[in-house]
Amino acid sequence: MYYKIKKIIKMNTVQSFPLQMLPIEDQLYVLGQMDSFSIQKVSELDVDCRLKEEAQKYDPAALSTLIVWDAIARKILAEGGPTQADLESSKRAIEKAKSFGDWIEKHKDDLADFAELDLSHKGLIALPPEIGKLCLTKLDLSYNRLESLPPELWDIETLRVLNFSHNQFRKLFHGLTKGLSRLKCLEEIDFSHNEIKSLNAHVWKHLNKSLIFDLSHNQLQELPRMNPCTHFKKLDLSHNQLRALPEENWLLCSINELDLSHNSLRALPQEILNYTYFPDVKISKNDFSQVKEVALKAVKGLDTHGPEIGYLTLIGTTLLSIIISPFDNIFLDVPIGVTAAFYIFALLDFFRNSAVTKI
């Protein structure tokens, strides 16, 4: 964000006021972001430090509304969006923001075929409730400063893809996941690169459809108990702080691909180890150094890239690939004839390990 503002200012050679020298789109972006920068950062931009003071005078919610409005107006080439006059003061901006709903109603025919909206990198701290009047299939809200969402968002029943990555969400509250459950067409949700430390107890119950659900790069330390009806095409929990997984109901779940890599796991639940039709699973970069043996009954794909496991037992009939080729595995023993039980075997890679007994 900082470097984008620096680029905007350099392109427009704006080194002091008035801010009005910038195009409307850039003015909205600078105002939306400037309050988050320190005085030192503002000074590095070679602009008058009063710019930060000016930005702080504006109502953040009104600015967010005008930013969204401007993006939509430009997308459908419609008139009536934010103008220079609307940015003369915070009061004018607030008054203009109040008419956003009327503008959407006026242009509802133009918006009927408006399926995708990219609001990434806009400096948004809030999403206007009027967003619920759109008929979107894809909404990208990545790289903003969102901490919550308006309930009106769940009125967009046509949504298939939602991207909330790189924001400031700290918890997936009950109301949020319950709202997501209303989106019957939803296929993919991305909450990666946030600050999420916990999930509500009903998250798996609410998201009981075949989804791609990305929770990677957060601060999760534990997960709520799995719901028996949980279905995911892919569940990405990598790059968190998980130390343990819930023991119950894994046998009743349906997860095609599970990524548990880059956590602090010391063991896997027994139900996962005994799962007859286990999905592709990644368990690399965890803390399995004290685990002497891992037994998986039937996996399609296994990537251990990192754990130091002393003894590996694989028993199953559907193994497609096993990749045990990290630089820091220490397999002390690989059982003779381990491949005998597999009917389908595409790849076996024990590259750079310390196996004492060879296959």
Q: Is residue 206 domain-resident?
A: no
> Using one digit for the tens of pLDDT, what is the confidence trace for 274-296?
664 556 788 888 887 655 455 55
Number of domains in the chain: 1
Q: Is residue 283 domain-resident?
A: yes
Please, are residues 146 and 124 in contact by the beta-carbon 8 Å criterion?
Answer: yes
Distance CA 223, CA 131 (A): 31
Q: Is residue 340 domain-resident?
A: yes
What is residue 280's predicted lDDT score, i.e. its pLDDT? 78
| pLDDT at 330 > cutoff 80 | no
pLDDT band at residue 211 using 50, 70 and 90 as cut-offs: very high
State how beta strands 198-199 and 171-172 pair.
Answer: parallel
Q: Is residue 275 domain-resident?
A: yes
Task: Select from 247, 144, 139 the least CA-distant residue to 189.
Answer: 139
pLDDT band at residue 50 using 50, 70 and 90 as cut-offs: low
R_g of the chain, CA atoms, integer Å: 25
Please, are residues 260 and 266 in contact by the beta-carbon 8 Å criterion?
Answer: no
| pLDDT at 72 > cutoff 90 | yes
Q: Is residue 352 domain-resident?
A: yes
Q: Is residue 337 domain-resident?
A: yes
The parent domain of residue 345 ranges over: 265-359
Entry pTM = 0.79
Distance of CA 31 to the CA centre of its chain: 25
Helices vs. strands in the chain: H and E counts, helices first: 11, 15
What is residue 89's predicted lDDT score, i.e. its pLDDT? 83
Mean pLDDT of the chain: 76
What is residue 64's predicted lDDT score, i.e. its pLDDT? 92
The DSSP H or E segment spanning 31 is: helix 24-34
The answer to which of 23-32, 36-45, 231-240 has the lowest mean pLDDT is: 36-45
What is residue 31's predicted lDDT score, i.e. its pLDDT? 72
The DSSP H or E segment spanning 110 is: helix 108-111
Q: What is the DSSP letter of 227?
A: P
The answer to which of 59-63, 175-179, 268-272, 355-359 has the lowest mean pLDDT is: 355-359
Higher pLDDT, 331 or 47: 47
Side-chain-side CA neighbours of 101 within 13 Å: the count stands at 7
Side-chain-side CA neighbours of 92 within 13 Å: the count stands at 8
Q: Is residue 332 domain-resident?
A: yes
Q: Is residue 212 domain-resident?
A: no
| pLDDT at 346 > cutoff 60 | no
Q: What percent of the chain lies above the pLDDT cut of 70?
A: 65
Please, are residues 276 and 318 in contact by the beta-carbon 8 Å criterion?
Answer: no
Q: What is the mean pLDDT of residues 40-69?
A: 70
| pLDDT at 117 > cutoff 90 | yes
> Using one digit for the tens of pLDDT, what is the confidence trace for 141-163?
999 999 999 999 999 999 999 99
What is residue 227's predicted lDDT score, i.e. its pLDDT? 83
What is residue 185's predicted lDDT score, i.e. its pLDDT? 94
| pLDDT at 323 > cutoff 70 | no
| pLDDT at 358 > cutoff 50 | no
